Amino acid sequence: MSEPSSRSGTLPSGVPVGGPPEPEPEHRVRGPRGAAAPLATGAAVAAGVAYVGLVDPNRPGHFLTCPLLALTGLACPGCGGLRATHDLVHLDVAGAWSMNPLWVLVAPLLVGLWSVWLVRAWKGRPGPSLPPSVAWTGLVVLVAFGVLRNVPGLAEWLGPSPS
């Protein structure tokens, strides 16, 4: 194994200590072309939210019923999410909270992350990256919410209100 030859931080072969230098970042497209993915994602989500805002999920026949709720009577973590989204579109935060409080808290975070992604892509920079601990924490919160919203004493606070 070779030792560094001097204080310059290179091996006798001339390779810098710590490996070869980092390659220059590839040229990234800026502006609307560079932000195509976040813009397309935003357009798709906006179309879906507009549809949910126009078509009331409280009226039967427009959306499918949650299979877990239909088969077991238990509310999954997403139950009430469409109704909460409909209420948020109509600026009824209390109604949305009564349908799915977790969604009311998470939706603004997702909009914020999408905004950061859009701005970074527009400037030609890579999107935000979150550490794995964020995903694991989210999973734990989702499972805990799914369990707690079916506990009889908490169901009226965390479960979707009857439509």
Average pLDDT value for residue range 10-14: 59
Task: Describe the crossing of helices 101-122 and 81-89 by its angle, rounded to 10 degrees.
Answer: 70
**Tokens 């409080």 map to which residue?**
101
Average pLDDT value for residue range 37-42: 95
Rounded to whole angstroms, the Cα distance separating 21 from 12 reads 16
Average pLDDT value for residue range 89-104: 95
Amino acid, res. 67: P
Reading the block at residue 155, the tokens are 């169901």
Average pLDDT value for residue range 111-118: 95
Instruction: Indicate the average pLDDT of the chain.
Output: 85
Q: What is the pLDDT of residues 50-96, one digit of tens each?
A: 999 999 998 888 888 889 988 998 999 999 999 999 999 999 999 99
Strands (E) located in 41-149: none
Q: Where is average pLDDT lowest: 49-63, 115-129, 148-162?
A: 148-162
Q: What is the pLDDT of residues 132-146, one digit of tens each?
A: 999 999 999 999 999
pLDDT greater than 70 at residue 4: no
Higher pLDDT, 163 or 151: 151
- Residue 5's pLDDT band (cuts 50, 70, 90): very low
pLDDT greater than 50 at residue 23: no
